[in-house]
Homo-oligomer: A and B are copies of this chain.
Amino acid sequence: MSDKSFQKKQYIIDTAAKVFAEKGYKNVTMKDIVEICEISRGGLYLYYDNTAELFVDVMKCQAESDEDFTSLISDDATAADILLLFLQEEKKNLFRKKNNLNRALFEFYFDNRPAKSDNVYRKKFDENVKVIRKIIEIGLEGGEFICEDPHTAAVNIVYLLEGLKATSLTLGISPDSFDRQILYILQSLGVDA
């Protein structure tokens, strides 16, 4: 693929991302993409044969552009500080209006259960578990946290975050409610909040 068509592909990915953020995955048609991208029907098919293929690229692209969380950590941060930072990042993502793919992601994976280990969603999930677990272990070493099973604790937090995401899409949740959960997590780890 030439450089030019690479840019066009990128343009489609970026533009389509907005539609997916707006309408979810299942409600988006090739026609929607064509219209928002202002390209021809046939033109889109040069790059993608269906919305699934395109959405995979949208996900990959978003995964790449994910800010590196570690860069946000200041030198003198305690484990609790870091965990708080992490959770506030998640909160920010959840309440973000623009480019929020949460709904589309759920809908896509409901339809396309990932068999392969290389799928974006699982990667993110596992990575989050690893990061949180690491933070907890740091907190344990420093005597900040109390936790018998750091791995399960980390998984618990990630499941909780999934629950918050899902609920924000079904019933809606308030920032306050999210905050209370952050506090609860920290308390569970033995931090006086």
Binding site for B on A (CB under 8 A): 24, 26-27, 103, 105-107, 109-111, 113-114, 121-122, 125, 148-149, 152-153, 155-156, 158-167, 169-172, 177, 180-181, 183-184, 187-188
Contacts and interface: CB of A to CB of B under 8 A. Distances in A.
A103 B106 CA distance: 10
Given A155-B180, A164-B163, A181-B159, A148 B106 contact: no
Contacts of A153: 184
Given A152-B181, A156-B181, A181-B152, A122 B171 contact: yes
Contact of A106 (B114, B166, B183, B188): B166
A187 B150 CA distance: 13
Nearest to A178: B159
A49 to B, nearest CB: 16
B181 A106 contact: no
Given A106-B170, A170-B121, A159 B149 contact: no
Contacts of A167: 125, 159, 162
